[in-house]
Chain A
Amino acid sequence: MKQLITFILKEFRHIFRDVRTLVILFGMPVVQVTLFGYAITNEVKDADIVVLDKSHDYLSTRLTNKITSSGYFYLKDKAATVKEVDKLFREDAVKLAIIIPEHFAERVQEKDAHIQLLADASDPNQANILVNYTNGIINKFMFEEAGVGLPYAINTEVEMTYNPTLEGVFLFVPGVITIILMLVSALLTSIAITREKELGTMEILLVSPLKPIQIILGKVIPYMLLSFMNAMFILLMGVFIFHMPINGSIPLLLGESLLFIITALSLGILISTKAASQQVAMMVSLFALMLPTILLSGFIFPISSMPWPLQWLSMIMPPKYFIIILKGIMLQGVGLAVLWKETLVLTGMTLVFLAAGIKNFKIRLA
């Protein structure tokens, strides 16, 4: 035990004396959360629009006010002709144009009003979102202010469960936690172990009375503690900066995080037993772990819309299950009763990786 503690202390010294490790450990989470939280977002805020109001009656003015006061749009310009609208699009000055026909108020009474929406679809996602938002506002306006639509229009009432304001960051926080834990745990441990191999110090450790399991534990425990701190740090950032809720049990959340950290660590051990050098370990960790974590875990792209080979592939990605668990606990507030399947899969994967890693480590000795 004393030997192990000595060894763990040494590992902490390595970590705190290596600038690159420190940057990955502590700089990365902040950068990622900030990036995903603020910069990369598909919400609409103050999108530039132009309104071409051919009617200029009380109703069209009120509709224009309603749209611009929604907070989603910024009325960049008012145009007098379609040509002007066209020019604004070409200059990339606006993303959306709203064209209100002549005699708008009268036509509304006759139930024959058509509003034209022109969107800049060079960014199809954004165009879609803008059109949907505008549609929503117009429908609501027609219903409330003009009193039309009632007799025969079907009103859909949409409620966004678990994430009522459609905050993108609610999806990104679980994603970022997953990426960071994967990166720190797997990448850093695999590098830390292969570094000893490369430097020849591993040989000395193997000749010493330290048992292989002590060497592995000594290398892994510091990263486990730091990863756990990291996970809590990102959670706190999510809660206090982005107002992300934690609807479920916090002990369960922390427990599941620990489980995923161990999954990633065991992957790191497995990689380090196979990789001969730090570069190889890094490459394997980045390409075999990071990219699938980002692309196939359902973090950015919904798994259900992937072609079946990729869907099948995503089944064997540990991050997928962790993201489901995180979302379940944080947003849906569910417990083990619902998430036992994912937890079981993660536990099973961890045991397989661990067994393979330790077996490989021993074979190197025999």
Chain B
Amino acid sequence: MEDYVIQTEGLTKKFGDFTAVNEISFNVSKGEVFGFLGANGAGKTTAIKMLCGLLMPTSGKAEVAGFDVFKQSESIKRTIGYMSQKFSLYNDLTVWENITLYGGIYGLSKKQINERGKQLIHELEAESFVNKRGKDLPLGFKQKLAFSVALIHQPRIVFLDEPTGGVDPITRRQFWEMIYQTAESGTTVFVTTHYMDEAEYCDRVSIMVDGTIKALDTPAKLKKSFHAASMDEVFLQLARNVVEK
């Protein structure tokens, strides 16, 4: 029996007549980098919101970090981290104020905030940025900082919603190094992206089309079964089927 941190079975969300997420079932292991792909409107965001305890599912089953999404959303919120494509730190607060704010919201003690904050700054080599406000930071650095802050309470799972949107290739590279380090330390990384080269970096990838998961496997196996040279082709094949249908 593998150590799963996310388990879903027939998870469904309907908005009136519209089924945004249609019976998705998948498991994610501890320390895995799980790519969650899909075109815009495929239902990715809805699925993530259900897993984060923001949306109540219509039917099905799902457990995140051992907690039931139907009944224990408060416990889920405490054990996950979240970062979205929008810059998720406050522009009018300094780097340090942002760090203490999130530490405080997640209920860390002053001592913990101080220790982890300093360590985080050290790892990002951002000593010179500490007292700068969010709006004065370069975008790439902001994203890395937002990722680090999302990890400040040492969550078991971190959800990254298109974390590298609008970031230059070098920073993207660094960002993925951070993702690997995080996964190695045992934290599961659940990441959505539109960059297919990034999909290749994931341990496993799921591709959502029209509210259902059309494919789920390691990038290598996916490419093999779709007879494709790259993840890009795999994705296009799946997405094209929808258009032709």
Shortest A189–chain B CB gap in Å is 17
The majority secondary structure among interface residues of chain B is loop
Our pick among B54, B87, B88, B100 for the contact of A365 (Cβ within 8 Å) is B54
Q: How far is the CA of A6 from the CA of B80 in the complex (A)?
A: 20
* Closest Cβ neighbor of B78 among chain A residues: A209
* Closest Cβ neighbor of B55 among chain A residues: A366
* Closest Cβ neighbor of A203 among chain B residues: B84
Is there a chain B Cβ closer than 8 Å to A18's Cβ? yes
Q: How far is the CA of A214 from the CA of B65 in the complex (A)?
A: 24
Question: Among the interface residues A6, A201, A366, which one has the most CB atoms of the partner chain B within 10 A?
Answer: A6
Q: Restricting to A310-366, which residues have a CB under 8 Å from any CB of B?
A: 365-366
**Digit string of A1-13 for contact with B (CB within 8 Å is 1, else 0)?**
0110111001001
By the criterion CB–CB under 8 Å, are A2 and B104 in contact? yes
Is there a chain A Cβ closer than 8 Å to B105's Cβ? yes
The majority secondary structure among interface residues of chain A is helix
Is there a chain B Cβ closer than 8 Å to A208's Cβ? yes
Q: Which residues of A contact B82 (CB under 8 A)?
A: 203-204, 207-208
By the criterion CB–CB under 8 Å, are B104 and A206 in contact? no
By the criterion CB–CB under 8 Å, are A200 and B87 in contact? yes
Q: Which residues of A contact B102 (CB under 8 A)?
A: 208
By the criterion CB–CB under 8 Å, are A18 and B105 in contact? no
Is there a chain A Cβ closer than 8 Å to B101's Cβ? yes
Is there a chain A Cβ closer than 8 Å to B86's Cβ? yes
Q: Which residues of B contact A14 (CB under 8 A)?
A: 90, 92-93
Our pick among B54, B93, B101 for the contact of A206 (Cβ within 8 Å) is B54
Is there a chain B Cβ closer than 8 Å to A90's Cβ? no
Q: How far is the CA of A200 from the CA of B165 in the complex (A)?
A: 14
Shortest A116–chain B CB gap in Å is 67
Q: How far is the CA of A332 from the CA of B152 in the complex (A)?
A: 58
By the criterion CB–CB under 8 Å, are A203 and B77 in contact? no
By the criterion CB–CB under 8 Å, are A200 and B86 in contact? yes
Shortest A361–chain B CB gap in Å is 13
Shortest B201–chain A CB gap in Å is 24
> Which of A's residues lie within 8 Å of B, judged by CB?
2-3, 5-7, 10, 13-14, 17-18, 199-201, 203-211, 365-366
> Which of B's residues lie within 8 Å of A, judged by CB?
52-56, 74, 77-78, 80, 82-84, 86-93, 97, 100-102, 104-107, 159
